[in-house]
Amino acid sequence: MQRPFYSVPSPLVGEGQGEGEEVRERGGQCGLRSVSLSHKGRGTGSFLYVEREMKKILVLPGDGIGPEIVTEAEKVLEAVRERFGLEVETERGLVGGAAYDETGEPLPETTLQQAREADAILFGSIGGPKWDAVERDKRPERGLLRLRSELGLFANLRPAMLFPQLADASSLRPEVVSGLDILIVRELTGGIYFGQPRGIREENGERVGFNTDVYSESEIRRIGHVAFELASARNGRLCSVDKANVMEVTELWKEVMTELAADYPRVELSHMYVDNAAMQLVRAPKQFDVIVTGNLFGDILSDEAAMLTGSIGMLPSASLDEQRKGLYEPCHGSAPDIAGQGIANPLATILSLAMMMRYSLDRGDVAEAIEAAVERALDQGWRTADIATGGGRGASTGEMGDAVVAALRE
Ligand code: IPM
Ligand code: MG
C-alpha cells in the first residue's frame, strides 16, 4: 500500500478507498501548491516563490531524544539525495536546552539567522527536567516559540492517521479508528500563546497570573484559507473548533470562518465547541476530515488526536509561513526518560522530512518514496519499543532508520 500520507488524499475518495494509483497520483500534487498563504489578500504568496537550485536545510537536533532521531532522518536525507539527485545542503544549529547550555539563550541569534537563510528546517525536540529551574524567558520551549513567531510559521499541519500495520496500537477499538485520517490545522503564531498583556503580578497581597487570548480578523482569515484549501483537496469537510458560547475571541473566529465559507462552496463547514470536539475525537473520530482551530485548542486537540493512532512516535508535523517555508518536527516531545538509550522511534522525524519534501521543496515524489519506505519497514516487521505490541526487544533507533534507508535503496 502506497498512499500519500500527510498530503491530501484525493478529493471525493471515501474512507477505505484511499489506496491505489489514482490516489497516489493526485496526492503528489499536494493541495498547498496552489494555495496562497498570504495574510490579507490572495495571490501574493506562494506563486512568487523563487526556485533556487541548491536548497538549504537547517537541522536543529535540540534536546532529549532529538539528536538521536534527527540523525536517522539525516541518513534518510542522504539516501534520497543519492537516489533522486536532490540538490540540498544541510547545516546544523543549536536550539533549546542545548543552545542554552552553550550560549545562555534557547534561540541564539546565529541560529535565528541560519533559520532565516534556510529553505526549510528539520527540528528534533526540545526541553527536559534539566532546564526546569531556568528562568522562564530562557526555557527551551521559548526557543521554539520564538522561532515560530520570528519566522511567521502560522500554519501548523498535524495529521493523525492510523497506519494499518499498527492497528493494534490504539487504545480504542479497531472499528472506531481503522482507516482514521484526520488533519488538524492549528494557528501557531497568535492567540493566547503570544497575546499581551501576560505575566504574573502582585495584587492585593497575592500573586495573579494572566494571559490574553487575541486574534485579529486577518489572522483568522489567513489560517482559514489554508484549512479550506486543504479540506477542498481532501474529503471536503472542515470543522472549525471554538468556544464561542463563552469567549468573544472565538466568537469572532467562528464568524470569520463562516464568511470564508462563501469562497469555498465545495467545502462543507461545521462548527464545534472545543469541549465537545475533545469528546467527539474519542467517541467517533472518523467523523472529522480537517479540523481548524486556534493555538491553544490546537495544541491540546492535536495531542489527543495523535494518541488515537496509538503511536505518537509516528506522527510528523509541518509549520509553514506564507511562502511555504517550513519547520518540520515530530509531534512527540523530547522524551528525556529514554534519551540516550537508542530506543526512540525515529519514524515521526523521518515522516516530517517527507512533509518537508512535499510542502517546502516541492518534491511530492520524494515525499512519497520516503513514506513508502517507512511502510515497507513496518511491513517487514520493524518496530521500536513504543509501537511493538508483541513484546520482546524493540528495534533500536538506528536499526529502524537503517530499515527505512534500505527500503529506499531497494
Ligand atoms: C507543541 C508543544 C509546544 C506547544 C511546546 C513545546 C511549547 O506542546 O508543539 O505542541 O505548546 O506548542
Ligand atoms: Mg503540544
Domain ranges of the chain: 32-170+311-410, 181-308
- 392 vs 146: which has the higher pLDDT: 146
Residue indicated by cell numbers 506564507: 322
Q: Do domains 32-170+311-410 and 181-308 have the same CATH topology?
A: yes
pTM of the model: 0.87
Residue 123: band (very low, low, confident or very high) from pLDDT cuts 50, 70, 90: very high
Planar angle of CA 305, 306, 308, nearest 5 degrees? 65
Architecture of domain 181-308: 3-Layer(aba) Sandwich (3.40)
- Residue located nearest, by CA, to atom 8 of ligand 1: 299
Give pLDDT tens digits for 217-261: 999 999 999 999 999 999 999 999 999 999 999 999 999 999 999
CA distance 6 to 23: 13
Distance 397 CA to ligand 1 centre (A): 23
- 16 vs 327: which has the higher pLDDT: 327
- Residue located nearest, by CA, to atom 1 of ligand 1: 299
pLDDT at residue 52 in the model: 55
Give pLDDT tens digits for 305-329: 988 987 888 999 999 999 999 999 9
Distance 296 CA to ligand 2 centre (A): 9
Closest CA to 315 of 323, 303, 301: 303
Q: Which atom of ligand 1 is nearest to the CA of 302?
A: 10
Distance 303 CA to ligand 2 centre (A): 6
Q: What is the CATH number of domain 32-170+311-410?
A: 3.40.718.10
Within 13 Å and on the Cβ side, how many CA atoms surround 232?
A: 16
The average pLDDT across 32-61 equals 57
pLDDT tops 50 at residue 115: yes
Q: What's the mean per-residue pLDDT of the chain?
A: 88
Catalytic residue list: 193, 243, 275, 299, 303
pLDDT tops 50 at residue 4: no
- Residue located nearest, by CA, to atom 6 of ligand 1: 141
| Closest ligand to Cα 317 | 1
Q: Do the beta carbons of residue 184 and residue 305 sit within 8 Å?
A: yes
Residue 389: band (very low, low, confident or very high) from pLDDT cuts 50, 70, 90: confident
Distance 199 CA to ligand 2 centre (A): 21
Q: Do the beta carbons of residue 392 and residue 67 sit within 8 Å?
A: no
Q: Which atom of ligand 1 is nearest to the CA of 127?
A: 6
Q: Which atom of ligand 1 is nearest to the CA of 156?
A: 9
State which of 95, 139, 145, 303 you would mutate to test the pocket of ligand 1, scoring each by most atoms of that ligand within 8 A of its C-beta: 145
pLDDT at residue 2 in the model: 30
pLDDT at residue 16 in the model: 34
CA distance 328 to 8: 17
The average pLDDT across 171-175 equals 90
pLDDT at residue 391 in the model: 60
List pocket residues of ligand 1, CB cut-off 6 Å.
Answer: 141, 144-145, 299
Distance of CA 163 to CAs 60, 118, 170, 270, Å? 27, 31, 10, 27
Q: Do the beta carbons of residue 79 and residue 409 sit within 8 Å?
A: yes
Distance of CA 38 to CAs 236, 298, 324, 328, 402, Å? 22, 21, 10, 20, 39
